[in-house]
Amino acid sequence: MTSPKRKFTGVDLVPGQTYRVVAKFEDYDGINHPVGETWRFVEKNFLPYDDGLTLNVERDGKTAPIRLQWRDESQGEIVDNFSDFVEEV
Protein backbone atom coordinates (compact mmCIF):
# COMPACT_ATOMS: atom_id res chain seq x y z
CA MET A 1 0.00 0.00 0.00
CA THR A 2 1.46 3.37 -1.00
CA SER A 3 1.26 6.31 1.34
CA PRO A 4 -0.55 9.46 0.22
CA LYS A 5 1.57 12.01 -1.60
CA ARG A 6 3.00 14.63 0.75
CA LYS A 7 1.43 18.06 0.20
CA PHE A 8 3.74 21.08 0.35
CA THR A 9 3.93 24.74 -0.66
CA GLY A 10 6.70 26.57 -2.48
CA VAL A 11 8.22 27.62 0.84
CA ASP A 12 8.41 24.03 2.13
CA LEU A 13 11.06 22.83 -0.32
CA VAL A 14 14.00 21.03 1.28
CA PRO A 15 17.54 22.25 0.48
CA GLY A 16 19.50 19.56 -1.35
CA GLN A 17 16.32 17.72 -2.42
CA THR A 18 15.79 17.01 -6.12
CA TYR A 19 12.40 17.84 -7.63
CA ARG A 20 10.75 17.02 -10.96
CA VAL A 21 7.99 19.04 -12.60
CA VAL A 22 4.82 16.93 -12.99
CA ALA A 23 2.46 19.70 -14.18
CA LYS A 24 3.79 22.52 -16.33
CA PHE A 25 3.73 26.03 -14.91
CA GLU A 26 4.87 29.51 -15.84
CA ASP A 27 6.90 31.60 -13.40
CA TYR A 28 6.77 35.35 -12.77
CA ASP A 29 9.26 36.01 -15.59
CA GLY A 30 7.12 34.13 -18.11
CA ILE A 31 9.51 31.16 -18.21
CA ASN A 32 7.74 27.85 -18.77
CA HIS A 33 8.72 24.90 -16.62
CA PRO A 34 7.70 21.80 -18.59
CA VAL A 35 6.80 18.36 -17.28
CA GLY A 36 9.98 16.39 -16.72
CA GLU A 37 12.17 19.38 -15.85
CA THR A 38 14.36 18.33 -12.92
CA TRP A 39 16.43 20.41 -10.53
CA ARG A 40 17.97 20.40 -7.06
CA PHE A 41 16.63 22.99 -4.63
CA VAL A 42 19.32 25.24 -3.11
CA GLU A 43 17.58 28.02 -1.15
CA LYS A 44 14.67 30.44 -1.12
CA ASN A 45 14.39 34.19 -0.68
CA PHE A 46 11.20 36.07 0.11
CA LEU A 47 10.59 39.76 -0.60
CA PRO A 48 7.59 40.70 1.59
CA TYR A 49 6.88 44.05 -0.09
CA ASP A 50 6.09 42.41 -3.45
CA ASP A 51 5.22 38.94 -2.09
CA GLY A 52 8.12 37.75 -4.22
CA LEU A 53 9.39 34.23 -3.71
CA THR A 54 12.62 33.26 -5.43
CA LEU A 55 13.50 29.58 -5.48
CA ASN A 56 17.19 29.15 -6.29
CA VAL A 57 17.73 25.80 -7.93
CA GLU A 58 20.64 23.98 -9.51
CA ARG A 59 20.05 22.66 -13.00
CA ASP A 60 22.74 21.31 -15.33
CA GLY A 61 25.44 22.39 -12.86
CA LYS A 62 24.30 26.03 -12.80
CA THR A 63 22.25 27.97 -10.28
CA ALA A 64 19.03 29.38 -11.72
CA PRO A 65 16.25 31.39 -10.07
CA ILE A 66 12.58 30.48 -10.33
CA ARG A 67 10.74 33.68 -9.43
CA LEU A 68 7.12 33.56 -8.27
CA GLN A 69 4.75 36.16 -6.87
CA TRP A 70 2.69 34.85 -3.96
CA ARG A 71 -0.51 36.70 -4.85
CA ASP A 72 -3.82 35.30 -6.06
CA GLU A 73 -3.60 37.25 -9.32
CA SER A 74 -0.09 35.96 -10.07
CA GLN A 75 1.40 32.60 -9.04
CA GLY A 76 -0.30 32.30 -5.64
CA GLU A 77 -2.08 29.11 -6.67
CA ILE A 78 1.23 27.57 -7.75
CA VAL A 79 3.04 28.55 -4.54
CA ASP A 80 0.17 27.35 -2.31
CA ASN A 81 -0.10 24.00 -4.11
CA PHE A 82 3.49 23.43 -5.21
CA SER A 83 3.21 19.67 -4.64
CA ASP A 84 0.63 19.59 -7.47
CA PHE A 85 3.33 20.92 -9.83
CA VAL A 86 6.52 19.17 -8.62
CA GLU A 87 7.39 15.92 -6.89
CA GLU A 88 10.32 14.88 -4.77
CA VAL A 89 12.67 12.56 -6.65
- Report in angstroms the alpha-carbon separations of 78 from 3, 9, 40, 53: 23, 8, 18, 11
Domains of the chain: 10-88 (2.30.30.350)
Q: What pLDDT, in 10s, does the model give residues 33-65?
A: 999 999 999 999 999 999 999 999 999 999 999
Confidence (pTM): 0.90
Is 36 exposed, middle or buried, given 0-12, 13-18 or 19+ CB atoms closer than 10 A? exposed
CB 54 within 8 A of CB 44: yes
